[in-house]
Amino acid sequence: MVHQEVMPLLTPFKMGRFELSHRVVLAPLTRCRSYGNVPQPHAAVYYSQRATRGGLLITEATGVSATAQGYPETPGIWTQEQVEAWKPIVDAVHRKGALFFCQMWHVGRVSTNDFQPDGQAPISSTDKQISPDAEPGMVYSKPRRLQVDEIPGIVDDFRRAARNAIEAGFDGVEIHGANGYLLEQFMKDGANDRDDEYGGSLENRCRFAVEVVDAVVREVGAQRVGIRLSPFLDYMDCVDSDPAALADYMVRQLNKHEGFLYCHMVEPRMAVVDGRRQIPHRLLPFRKAFNGMFIAAGGYDREEGNKVVTDGYTDLVAYGRLFLANPDLPKRFELGAPLNEYDRSTFYTQDPVVGYTDYPFLDEDSSDLTANDA
Ligand SMILES: Cc1cc2nc3c(=O)[nH]c(=O)nc-3n(C[C@H](O)[C@H](O)[C@H](O)COP(=O)(O)O)c2cc1C
């Protein structure tokens, strides 16, 4: 008998009380197909296409309130209608045997008045607008700096969204503390210019995010809560002068909650060395300082994913663009099969099929799920 080594990415892992059968995680991916901020039946097809027994999926970023939006047709989880709409989607994923976490976000100033109730200004840590060159072709509106006495209300929005996510059947929630959105606008000194108890020192800047973590943990239990952080990115003008200190401070706050499930960190931007993209692999100190499970994301392929799991650099690896374009990514990794190319032009379009549920499977038979099957 030929002895075949199981590749590290496809080995089982115990994530708190959850048993994973492999380490290939679907990264949160905004898809702009939830009309009127309500998740749609076609999302059940999309997510269940990517579900495997013992796999972990994270939803696209999902709004915690009416002020949380900044992109067209993104889902929410603050109304009962949204909760009810998520239920069949979560069920479809569970029927395939996968775990499903809901990523909860508030975009803060990455928005325009058009997305806001009554055309008001988006809210933020600051009243500084995102510079026009942060994202070519996009002009974000001038935000309104949150007053200190408004912050508990936003913390409570995250708490309620987490409760709603559990009611919708999700296995847990991921707090979106990354990529330049509201929590990062407070955390990073490039965006936070406050001089009250939510600005200035690292402790003050992280206070809002820590309050959200504490409230969500109290509401649904630490064993159901993860967070996504991107200390090294500068997306949407959110840059910090000492990202390592920021990351270290945050993981130590997470450690205060016994059993806090996971820390999901995004790698610094990739550099190209000798024609090959190089992942900087600078997250190890925070993985070591953190007591829970670690997910790394940003630029991984099959080879790099296997390498970092073997090296103990991370427990799990989240795949964004590759999983978007390859619904059967774990199987393709297992077989060493070629991958579909992703089509950037359809990342954020609103079609319920094109660029969404129409990427082919290796075995085409399993791709013809309909909303009813799912
Ligand atoms: C279309 C698209 C949508 C994304 N939406 C989200 C999101 O909703 N939440 C989030 O935290 N990151 C989001 N990201 C970032 C990805 O989760 C991931 O970190 C990034 O794509 C890098 O990983 P990759 O090289 O495996 O694609 C998005 C990325 C893409 C390409």
CATH number at residue 110: 3.20.20.70
Q: How far is the CA of 299 from the centre of ligand 1 (A)?
A: 10
Q: Is 356 in the pocket of ligand 1 (CB under 6 A)?
A: no
Residue 365: pLDDT above 60? Answer: no
Q: What is residue 18's predicted lDDT score, i.e. its pLDDT?
A: 93
pLDDT band per the 50, 70, 90 thresholds, residue 367: very low
Q: Taking all residues of the chain, what is their mean pLDDT, rounded to a whole number?
A: 94
Pair 9, 302: CB distance under 8 Å: yes
C-alpha to C-alpha distance for 73 and 70, rounded to whole angstroms? 9
pLDDT of residue 371: 40
Catalytic residues, by residue number, are: 181
CA pair distance 346, 125, nearest whole angstrom: 32
pLDDT tier, 373 (very low <50, low <70, confident <90, very high otherwise): very low
How far separated are the first and last CA of the chain, in Å rounded?
A: 39
Domain count along the chain: 1
Average pLDDT over residues 106-113: 98
In percent, how much of the chain has pLDDT > 70? 94
Cα(294) to centroid(ligand 1), Å? 17
Assess whether pLDDT exceeds 70 at residue 1: no
**Does the Cβ of 176 fall within 6 Å of ligand 1?**
yes
Q: How many CA atoms lie within 13 A of 353 on its CB side?
A: 7
Closest atom of ligand 1 to 348 CA is 1
206 lines ligand 1 (CB under 6 A): no
87 is a domain residue: yes
Beta carbon of 347 within 6 Å of any ligand 1 atom? yes
121-143 tens-digit pLDDT? 999 999 999 999 888 889 999 99
Q: Ligand 1 pocket: which of 25, 29, 279, 322 to mutate (most atoms <8 Å of CB)? A: 29
Considering only CA atoms, which residue is closest to atom 28 of ligand 1?
Answer: 29
Helix orientation angle between 41-49 and 80-95, rounded to the nearest 10 degrees: 30
Q: Output the pLDDT for position 99.
A: 98
The response to whether residue 62 sits with its C-beta less than 6 Å from ligand 1 reads: no
Q: Please check whether residue 327 is in contact with residue 298, taking contact to mean a CB–CB distance below 8 angstroms.
A: no
User: Cα separation of 205 and 198, whole Å?
Assistant: 5
List beta partners, residue 273: 276
Domain that holds residue 118: 8-371
Residue with CA closest to ligand 1 atom 1? 347
Q: Give the residue, by CA position, lying nearest to ligand 1 atom 30.
A: 29
Question: Is there a domain that residue 19 lies in?
Answer: yes
Q: Is the CB of 300 under 6 A from ligand 1?
A: yes
